[in-house]
Structure 1
Amino acid sequence: MKILTCSNSCPRWEGGQLNPRSPGGLVPMLIELLNKHGGEWIFTAPPGVELADSVTLDGDIVLHPVGLDEELRRRHYDTVSIQLLLGLLHYMHDTSSEPVFDSALSDAWTGYETVNRLYAKRLTERSANNADELILLNDPHLMLVPEFLASQQAARKSKLTYFLGTPWCEPDYFTVLPGHIRTRILESLLMCDVVGFHARRWSEAFLACCARFLPGATIDGNSVTHRGHTTHLVSVPFPLDVDVLDAMVGEPATADWTERLAGMAAGRRVMVRADRIDLWKNMPRGFAAYEAALERSPRLAEECWFVAVATPPSRAAGRHAAYQLATEEAVRRINERFGTPDRDAATLIQPGKGRDSRNCVVAALLMSTAAVVNSTYDGLNLFAKEAAYLLDDNASLLLSANAGVHEQLGTLACTLDPFDIDQTSRAMEEALRAGTESGSGSAGERHALLRSENAERWLEAVFRL
């Protein structure tokens, strides 16, 4: 078996080894699979970094960076992949004014095609094209690669899976895209043997789009037959690497963060959230909900502390900057109203990217009474799985109904309506009560669930092996 994978996301390596491991997500899981099986990884080289066409690592792993100039990167990544497609799949467009499909967006779409064609060319060059080869494509940045691959490889024998770590929107919202673009995306993805998502609701939305926009398609359960080819839909969430998480608990960096956070908590009960500063993470509403809880029960500020651990997105757009300012303003307002000169009621910690930020999250979860995930729409949400694993029996996981991981953890969590500030605030207040009995199920039950999954089982599921 050979794995050949493509992603926009870029791994890091040193001394012939891929590194570092972390508790989960696309890149850490691909690292684990390649370390076990070997294989090749095609990815977008970081901006401003010149790399060789290929890099050979230990364990029969070969990396293939795809270099893009800044203008092409802007059109492919910033304008189409992030602003248009991620905005679409997460329901983030204000359709009263955006998107506007004008000549500028048409030029950006041409850039998206160019990058996808480059990936397909590299993929064709590296493919052995035999039944033992597993080709895994990832995320919305590369949704035309199957189309271009089919045009360059007349008779594919390899198994081809496309996995989207995002949500998928319902057909009415999918009409934000012009007809020729939405048809092309769907038809390209249906050239794969399998299309995978983290949750059934995203798979069902994709099937509904196929049924509505591809008149010639036949839907049969979890499969679509189009132009003589059958594509299967699977719903397989990324696993949490609990062994890595267990190791992080004992790391010196976690101890350092524990000491620092304990000083800031000053003996108060702790509620934590951890997010990348993406628009769909819904941080301003989360702080507004906490502010509403403090308005009802001002003493909570004396007894409790709300800490948010935030990391920046890649190449943040203007909306991200405004969103971060709104988040910071919400924290400032809470502290002006309910904090004291020597005690914040709420704190936004931004430790930066990298492993140290994960140690901060681990330390915060180990001391928390509650963890909050109130995403508007989220493909999975790894933090919710980390919380489910590290919180004790009496702690509560407050989990958005629109996070993909809710299908796994909903019965072990308190469900939030992410748009309802009053409901969220009351759930927070209940979770922060001393001696709460509204915890997220038994730790044993949560541990058993999360230990039952691993990268190898995920691979077998998404390729239907």
Structure 2
Amino acid sequence: MAEHQVLVASNRGPVSFERDAHGNIVAKRGGGGLVTALTGAMQLAGGLWIASAMSDEDRERARDGHFDVDVEGTGYRLRYLSFPPATYDRYYNGISNRILWFLNHYLWDVPRTPRFDDGTQRDWAAYRRVNQSFAAALHDEAGQLRSEPLFLVQDYHLSLVPAMLRKLRPGALINHFSHIPNAGPTYTRILPTAIREELLAGLLGADVLGLQAEVWAENFLTACRILPGTRVDFRRRSVQWQGRTVRVRVYPVATDTESLEAAASTEEVASISRRLARWRGDAKLILRVDRTELSKNILRGFLAFETFLRRHPRWRRRVRFLALLNSSRGSIAEYRQYMRECMHAAGRINAELGDDDWSPIRVVVGDHFPTVVAAYRLYDVLMVNPVYDGMNLIAKEGPVVNRRKGVLILSENAGAFSELGRHSICINPFDVLQTAEALAQALEMEEADRGRRIRGLRAAIRRGTAERWVRRQLDDLEAVRLLREGRGST
């Protein structure tokens, strides 16, 4: 890494800009272990992070070209790309959110949606233009370095960048990492033929393609077989494409355990924990923490809790369900409708099964991390039931700071299941009855069993770090470089 700088590309950058009370533009660091890991890689080897300008203040800074900024003692070298609002909307909402996200989380109501038309083609053209701008910016920045950098391209927003960058720099060392699931060939065939082939060919421009879990890697390898001209080797997890070998690898994203533990030890979190404990009283606490996202399966979670209370009435008044929800994609009609359905279900359940002194479900909508950490400390059951999820870091965060030997109920379709499944209660996320009975099993579990499970969860979670996640990707790119130079092996 010392010889090769790192160029990172992502839709959202590690720093956002806003105006303070005096009207000055100030920088705010993004959260999460991935920002920490990728920043660390750049600081160790040198490099640059390229992202989209999201706000007016971001766009103002984008006019500076690449620039340096210091946030909370961490230095960043950044370049933000500014796009016309209509172009960005088509790229981000039209394709990334409405098509690629829905595709890879199996969210379409297939008898009715999607319907591809002229608007889809205009959206795809915008998606292509934005990806081309990222590829051109990466090429431009790489040309100013003394040696060829390592390119780390992030997620489904930038699926075409690897092939576009490859055309500009045939010898580039490119990794593309998908943070979301991969739907596999059957669902991918829903896409218009030209779009799906361009999408797959775009990704195959990389040297190494990373996914969160084995199941998503297998899905991608199988999907590649629908692209004419590919040869897939499942044993070696590679794809032969246009005379090149593309390696498909699994890099499970890790949570930042040190930051979580530090947050859990603050007085603010302790104060919130005391308030939540008073609200909970002697009852058991079921917790979910999610964005108001279709794939998170909030509605079925509420319905499963209702089924549990009706099938196990002895638990009425002895358990509370706390849902901490963070608003997401409110500009999309399906999301607004889904949130209305979730709130209606919670209200109906409270009206039908609650009383003046006890409401079964409490829904809190907002983004307040200390409250989340406080709730993590207190839960007896953590429900993580996405219909499909690339990883789901909630499943990895909660057990780290929980103080009640809390039980994890985990969807078999979450990427985290491959690491945490043996220490959790497994559910089919579509099966409301099974989820209801999982709640009963979790709440009635013996303390010794709860203790064994949470110790297993913590051990599995601590085996991964954000630094190891990025280091493995850089090491695999380095192996490709050595192989090209005749100094490595397959």
The interval holding the TM-score normalised by the smaller chain is over 0.9
* Partner Cα distance (1:438, 1:326) in 2: 36
What's the counterpart of residue 319 of structure 1? 334
Shift of 1:188: 1.4
More divergent stretch after superposition (73-82 vs 435-444): 435-444
* Partner Cα distance (1:436, 1:331) in 2: 30
What's the counterpart of residue 40 of structure 1? 48
1:25-424 paired onto structure 2 within 5 Å: 26-49=34-57, 50-52=59-61, 53-58=65-70, 61-128=76-143, 133-153=149-169, 155-157=170-172, 159-221=173-235, 222-314=237-329, 316-352=331-367, 357-392=368-403, 394-424=405-435
Q: Which string of whole-angstrom CA distances, capped at 9 and with x for unpartnered residues, describes residues 83-103 of structure 1? A: 001000000111112111111
Shift of 1:405: 0.5
* Partner Cα distance (1:424, 1:130) in 2: 56
Residues 442 and 432 of structure 1, relative CA distance in 2, 3 Å threshold? closer
Instruction: Check the 8 A contact 2:405/2:454 in 1, yes or no.
Output: no
* Partner Cα distance (2:40, 2:351) in 1: 46
Shift of 1:18: 6.6
Instruction: Check the 8 A contact 1:414/1:440 in 2, yes or no.
Output: no
Shift of 1:261: 1.5
1:449-460 paired onto structure 2 within 5 Å: 449-460=460-471
Q: Which string of whole-angstrom CA distances, capped at 9 and with x for unpartnered residues, describes residues 315-357 of structure 1? A: 54111101111111111111112222343211111232xxxx2
Shift of 1:438: 4.6
Instruction: Check the 8 A contact 2:329/2:335 in 1, yes or no.
Output: no
* Partner Cα distance (1:31, 1:384) in 2: 24
Shift of 1:219: 2.3
* Partner Cα distance (1:406, 1:8) in 2: 27
Question: In the alignment, residue 409 of structure 1 is paired with which amino acid?
Answer: L
Matched, 1:12 2:26: no
Question: In the alignment, residue 447 of structure 1 is paired with which amino acid?
Answer: R
Q: Which string of whole-angstrom CA distances, capped at 9 and with x for unpartnered residues, describes residues 239-258 of structure 1? A: 11111011011123312321
More divergent stretch after superposition (178-187 vs 282-291): 178-187
Question: In the alignment, residue 172 of structure 1 is paired with which amino acid?
Answer: T
Question: In the alignment, residue 338 of structure 1 is paired with which amino acid?
Answer: L
Equivalent position SS for 2:286: strand
What's the counterpart of residue 483 of structure 2? none
Equivalent position SS for 2:78: strand
Question: In the alignment, residue 283 of structure 2 is paired with which amino acid?
Answer: R
Unaligned runs of at least 5 residues, structure 1: none
Equivalent position SS for 2:56: coil
Residues 263 and 235 of structure 1, relative CA distance in 2, 3 Å threshold? same
Question: In the alignment, residue 138 of structure 1 is paired with which amino acid?
Answer: Q
Instruction: Check the 8 A contact 2:229/2:242 in 1, yes or no.
Output: no
Residues 19 and 430 of structure 1, relative CA distance in 2, 3 Å threshold? same
Report the identity percentage: 29
Shift of 1:436: 5.0
Equivalent position SS for 2:51: strand
Residues 174 and 20 of structure 1, relative CA distance in 2, 3 Å threshold? closer
Question: In the alignment, residue 419 of structure 1 is paired with which amino acid?
Answer: F
Instruction: Check the 8 A contact 1:339/1:345 in 2, yes or no.
Output: yes
Residues 185 and 116 of structure 1, relative CA distance in 2, 3 Å threshold? same
Instruction: Check the 8 A contact 1:7/1:139 in 2, yes or no.
Output: yes
Instruction: Check the 8 A contact 1:397/1:439 in 2, yes or no.
Output: no
Question: In the alignment, residue 10 of structure 2 is paired with which amino acid?
Answer: S
Question: In the alignment, residue 420 of structure 2 is paired with which amino acid?
Answer: L
Residues 130 and 54 of structure 1, relative CA distance in 2, 3 Å threshold? closer
* Partner Cα distance (2:429, 2:85) in 1: 36
Question: In the alignment, residue 108 of structure 1 is paired with which amino acid?
Answer: D
Shift of 1:455: 2.3
Q: Which string of whole-angstrom CA distances, capped at 9 and with x for unpartnered residues, describes residues 415-448 of structure 1? A: 0110000000010122123755552734444333
Aligned-residue Cα RMSD (Å) equals 2.2
Question: Where has structure 1 moved over 4 Å in runs of 4 or more?
Answer: 13-18, 128-132, 434-438
Question: In the alignment, residue 271 of structure 2 is paired with which amino acid?
Answer: D
Residues 377 and 442 of structure 1, relative CA distance in 2, 3 Å threshold? closer
Equivalent position SS for 1:378: coil
Question: In the alignment, residue 47 of structure 2 is paired with which amino acid?
Answer: G
Residues 395 and 168 of structure 1, relative CA distance in 2, 3 Å threshold? same
Residues 410 and 44 of structure 1, relative CA distance in 2, 3 Å threshold? same
Residues 110 and 212 of structure 1, relative CA distance in 2, 3 Å threshold? closer
Residues 81 and 55 of structure 1, relative CA distance in 2, 3 Å threshold? same
Query: How does the TM-score come out when normalised to structure 1?
Result: 0.92
Instruction: Check the 8 A contact 2:151/2:175 in 1, yes or no.
Output: yes
Question: In the alignment, residue 43 of structure 1 is paired with which amino acid?
Answer: A
Shift of 1:150: 2.3
Unaligned runs of at least 5 residues, structure 2: 18-24, 479-490
* Partner Cα distance (1:383, 1:358) in 2: 12
Question: In the alignment, residue 39 of structure 1 is paired with which amino acid?
Answer: G
Shift of 1:212: 3.0
Residues 20 and 9 of structure 1, relative CA distance in 2, 3 Å threshold? closer
* Partner Cα distance (2:377, 2:455) in 1: 16
Question: In the alignment, residue 95 of structure 2 is paired with which amino acid?
Answer: V
Shift of 1:36: 4.5
